[in-house]
Structure 1
């Protein structure tokens, strides 16, 4: 049954509008009646009772702000009358117990993946071409042009014909209005059906702007991230282009690969341009070696694997006022299901754990993990403040417009992605996940930087919730887009895969949505469903430089 308002936690002193509410319109929730004092847009919050200036505002059962001025009963919460505030936290742990979800529906399920010799299983099978430094980006682009279409990996939709038709009209002397409003369908290319290597999902190119300049730690961290992608279960092998003199030396990359995979034996071809000589010689070798590597990669085929071989990254971006009450808790339940089945999940975006740190500390399996989490998040917060910023500046204009007016409100909802299971490990970027269960990974809240990091740490699928819509993808891991509301799901149907607006509309529970999402994940992992980001070739890859990024 559809509700018009929601009280997220019994201790809250605010209500969430699930639809636009008129001033003076009576609405009911759990036998209580409320009357907004002014227009309350859907997704925004209003006060249950009068809140005096300086008083605490509670949502999700935690402190999420302080009133900057008096807020009347039924009054809208906004950036004008609320400022960020969050609960303090200690390393000392409180008692915590986890009630595992009923996973009987999935206990005997498997997915069809690509088995690697180290025991990991990929949900895809890609070949990588990796530059060690930005100086090699142009050579990478040349290889991309030389290999993609001839091998059958071109984009499925091209707008070249549309542009050419309009250019021809301009040459013939049409008006500006005719150019603006003439409907021309884009050309549709038939590719992929005649791939030379049918068991290889594609060649991916990790262009970046790092590898030299900056500080040496940046290059070491970049090598760690690149090593995470090369050793990733979704990757069959790699071609690495090095200039030769950059800070990010091949020897560092090799050390980082060994850290993650001591018995690494995937095919990897490393070319040093300064040693090779001419560009022609470099590219000739790169093409030959890449094609040889693809021949080897094509020998691997999908085979059944237990769900314990899945590692799921949990991400949100373009969040709205519904994210924390529909999409995020839904994938939180998916997370709990997978953990109960022996799989791994990654919760990152440390600026978006602001206000729920004590809950995270309490969930850590031991004191060492709790101390590492508190040290990482406190150091991160301090560095942000030293740079003249802070976690309170994390919400974007889009977040604020849709009801996430403080970082603590945004964070309390964002943390729901991690479900309720214990924290088995705490990782600093770009460390690798090695333990089944819920892993914390220190990353910024920036969507692409965080997604890039989660995959580098081993996520072979990413669940990405959004309330406003974003096309974010990843070169080697399927990124499943999950809408927090039905309006978004319908409006941006070309980039959204799953709708959880059904929770807001009372059509299903969080648990039902979480099970539906896990069933979808299994199909994606098996190659039965191609997610929207993969269809569109949305290969976002942004390494995090350890300066301040929120």
Structure 2
């Protein structure tokens, strides 16, 4: 039976604004908690309105936390906007441990398994890739040359849509004298993207080429962090082995990469081939050796097959991008329940994007298992924000124009909703970029709020599946970990079915509970982890990879 759809929502009993779940008209009468609110303004879905007459500097609460202060007085029933509300959040300090949490019923998943690639260190991959990586941007062209030589011939090239036929149609109509309006109204048919299946290495999901613009010219901190990030990918359970190209004179030395690999896996035994162009001599020598090594590595990787694994071997990265005013009340809470289920089963989840934890620091630090973990979280938050402010842009400037347009007026509003992805379990670990963050339980990982940089870091930290919520829609993916895109609202899901996998707008529409949505998401995760379902980002070949540059160029 379809559940009753609401017009508005108070997210937390402490909140003094309501969220419109559908468009509300000026003059409309709202009955809430025994009081009547006559709307002064037109309130679009996802936006907020006042519950009473408020003076200038009135504190505004959402999700039970301070999210801003009013710039001027507002009457009851007024729309909250970027003009009348400024960012504000509570101070935070070391508090008492608050480790009780809402443990979900996991009986449905207690004996569930997935089929993955078991590695010698006990971790399990949800895919099986070979990597080709440059240690420095000087090797990008050689990596692209290898890609051109290998990808299509091995059956891994994603055949992207060719729009030349559409151009021909437009040219024909233009030559025939079509007007500008007629050209704009033309119906241009499109074909789907196809992926080749004639693969000589059927147990290898692909060869991935991770170009970047770092490795030299920046700070040693950044080049060392790059080596750590690349080591995270090489040691990742979704990776069978790697070919690495080095120039030789750059900051990001092969010796640093080897040290970072050892930090993450002391008994590392995957095939790893490192070639240095300044030692090899000619480009032909370098490329021929790299091709032979990569081909041999693929043959070795092809010997591995999927085997049954328990769900505690899942490490779920939690991400959001193109967020909207529904993110914190539909898709993100659904991910929060998925997180709590995974944690209850002994698995790992990673919550990143530290600028989007601004305003909920006290809650997150209180949930840390011990004071040392809490202290590290608070230190990373304070130093990161201080660095951002020194560069002229604190956390308060995090919301994008799209966020603001769709109801996320301040960073604290955005953060309070984003934090819901982490569920309610205690924080077991706090890691700094580019460290591992795959301990059983909830891991916090210091990354930017930038979607691709954060996703790139979460995968390096150990995430073998990424759950990515979006309100506005984004194609973001990752080269080695499946990124599952989850819409916060039905409109975006129906408008962008080519990039979004799951719709959580069903929660807003009153068709599904958060728990029902969480179970649907986790069932899909298990199928993806087993190779039985392929997310849209993987089908599209959306291999986004951007290392985080913290320092400056020198």
**TM-score bracket, shorter-length normalisation:** over 0.9
Matched, 1:501 2:521: no
Matched, 1:219 2:223: yes
Matched, 1:231 2:235: yes
Unaligned runs of 5+ in 2: none
TM-score w.r.t. length of structure 1: 0.96
2-structure distance, mates of 1:272, 1:166: 49
TM-score w.r.t. length of structure 2: 0.96
**Secondary structure in 1 matching 2:73:** coil
> What are the superposed Cα offsets for residues 218-238 of structure 1, whole Å, 9 maximum, x if unpaired?
100000000000000000000
Q: CA deviation at 1:162?
A: 2.7
Counting only pairs closer than 5 Å after superposition, residues 8-407 of structure 1 correspond to structure 2 as 8-29=11-32, 33-159=36-162, 161-162=164-165, 165=168, 169=172, 177=180, 183-186=187-190, 191-407=195-411
Moved over 4 A (4+): 29-33, 166-191
1-structure distance, mates of 2:103, 2:20: 31
8 Å contact from structure 2 (residues 219, 551) kept in 1: no
Q: CA deviation at 1:404?
A: 0.5
Q: CA deviation at 1:189?
A: 7.2
8 Å contact from structure 1 (residues 157, 187) kept in 2: no
**Secondary structure in 1 matching 2:25:** coil
Q: CA deviation at 1:180?
A: 5.7
**1:516 paired residue number:** 520
2-structure distance, mates of 1:188, 1:455: 29
> What are the superposed Cα offsets for residues 430-469 of structure 1, whole Å, 9 maximum, x if unpaired?
0012410000000011111000000000000000001000
2-structure distance, mates of 1:253, 1:176: 59
2-structure distance, mates of 1:194, 1:183: 34
Which of residues 529, 537, 540 is equivalent to 1:536? 540
1-structure distance, mates of 2:413, 2:102: 26
2-structure distance, mates of 1:409, 1:189: 38
Aligned-pair Cα RMSD in Å: 1.8
Q: CA deviation at 1:152?
A: 0.7
Matched, 1:410 2:414: yes
**Secondary structure in 1 matching 2:389:** helix
Matched, 1:7 2:43: no
2-structure distance, mates of 1:164, 1:129: 35
1-structure distance, mates of 2:109, 2:156: 34
8 Å contact from structure 2 (residues 133, 243) kept in 1: yes
Q: CA deviation at 1:157?
A: 3.8
Q: CA deviation at 1:174?
A: 7.1
**Secondary structure in 2 matching 1:106:** coil
Matched, 1:441 2:450: no
